[in-house]
Amino acid sequence: MSLFVQKYGGTSVGSVERIEAVADKIAGFKAQGHDLVVAVSAMSGETNRLIGLAQEISSAPTPREMDVLVSTGEQVTIALLCIALHKRGIKARSYTGQQVQILTDSAHMKARIKHIDVDKIRADLSEDTVVVVAGFQGVDEDGNITTLGRGGSDTTGVALAAALKADECQIYTDVDGVYTTDPRVVPEARRLDKITFEEMLEMAGQGSKVLQIRSVEFAGKYQVPLRVLSSFKDGPGTLITLEEESGSMEQVVVSGIAFNRDEAKVTVVGVPDTPGAAAKLLAPIGAANIEVDVIVQNVSADGTTDLTFTVHNNDVEKARSILEGVAIELGAKSIKTDPKVAKVSIVGVGMRSHAGVASTMFNALAKENINIQMITTSEIKIAVIIEERYLELAVRALHTAFGLDDDKISEE
């Protein structure tokens, strides 16, 4: 008999029928004798409906009041799920973030959890009661309602699992696990039985949007075993674990291929190779809230160097106009932009101890005549920037080159 913290997302509780299905699922776990704490999101569409009401009134609604407003979405779900559980003869009790309580800082709309009081939850569990907690929300020290930001229900689930030392935190979503790459691009993509936290972070950061990245960091930090499963069909999902526990994975060099289509490239040509030049160029970009992804600067040859970075392709013109003044000031030659690039990354803890991963990657791309424009690496990731139109081709080529296709290997 285990203690599971389960999190059900917006589509999983998107209608009365879906809430009933979740109640059935929970009833099944209770029949097996497990203890359950369940964190839920707002019914899909509800948070957007509430935000829409506020925006009809004001283009800049107050963050404190936005939290009061949107936190009602999860409160509706906890009540409905408890009613559905009671109908099935299962003891259940709902809690808002304020009631648990989930204490956060006071950063409205992006609060961070400081402490969770588990006394009430433990008492309920000892009486065989399913505890249903509103995800995404908490309360600050002055009693103000706070929210954790979009996707924060995942974080609520992981934080509850950490505070309760649960056996597993199960994130129910609309996909049945983490895949080697996006199955819409590579039909041979396989569901991974296991992946490490580090790999998951690289995959999530690269655009595999299965889990909110903060919740993965949180789970890694507190060593909470995290499992991603589908609430629509049965299956083991993907377990996200510490590297040490996942011996079987060591055989695999590359676990997955991540990609991001929406990148744009900005190059400042002929930057004088002096200390602080890169900082002077990037500081105003950051100040304008433009997120910079990859940054590459090569070694200097003639006393000048080229600095290249990527931004979201919506931001490329804004970035260029910001840079123009700074670039002239620094004595740079010109600014070039290319809105039509994409990033492809191979991710895997296995590559740490394997030479030759990079050359396998580059060879596979060369064989398809795909030119590599930029390269960056981390311990468990190699990312390249290529022309956007080659994205699908590159992902498929790499998926095959690293033996990830469905019929080739099984990672266990």
54 binds a copy of itself (CB under 8 A): yes
Which stretch in 30-38, 46-54, 206-214, 256-264 sits in contact with a copy of itself by CB under 8 A?
A: 46-54
Distance, in Å, from the CA atom of 189 to the CA atom of 185, rounded to the nearest integer, reads: 8
What single-letter DSSP state applies at residue 167? S
Which stretch in 55-63, 153-161, 272-280, 355-363 sits in contact with a copy of itself by CB under 8 A?
A: 55-63
Strands lying side by side in the sheet with 194-196:
92-95, 130-134, 35-40, 3-8, 168-173, 226-230, 238-241, 194-196
Distance, in Å, from the CA atom of 106 to the CA atom of 371, rounded to the nearest integer, reads: 48
Residue whose structure tokens are 């070694």: 299
Which stretch in 47-55, 149-157, 189-197, 291-299 sits in contact with a copy of itself by CB under 8 A?
A: 47-55
* Residues 79-98 contacting a copy of itself, CB under 8 A: 79-80, 82-84, 86-87, 93-94, 96, 98
Residue closer to a copy of itself (CB basis): 15 or 334: 15
21 binds a copy of itself (CB under 8 A): no
300 binds a copy of itself (CB under 8 A): no
Q: Which residues contact 367 (CB under 8 A, 6 or more apart)?
A: 397
Distance, in Å, from the CA atom of 29 to the CA atom of 3, rounded to the nearest integer, reads: 10
Residue closer to a copy of itself (CB basis): 78 or 169: 78
58 binds a copy of itself (CB under 8 A): yes
Residue closer to a copy of itself (CB basis): 61 or 207: 61
Determine contact, residues 111/146, Cβ cutoff 8 Å: yes
75 binds a copy of itself (CB under 8 A): yes
Name the nearest CA neighbour of 135 among 67, 71, 223: 71
Distance, in Å, from the CA atom of 198 to the CA atom of 202, rounded to the nearest integer, reads: 6
Distance, in Å, from the CA atom of 102 to the CA atom of 162, rounded to the nearest integer, reads: 13
How many residues line the site for a copy of itself (CB under 8 A)?
36
Residue closer to a copy of itself (CB basis): 123 or 283: 123
CB of 153 to a copy of itself, least distance (A): 17
* Residues of this chain that bind a copy of itself (CB under 8 A): 16, 19-20, 50, 53-54, 56-58, 61-62, 64-66, 68-69, 71-72, 75-76, 78-80, 82-84, 86-87, 93-94, 96, 98-99, 143-145
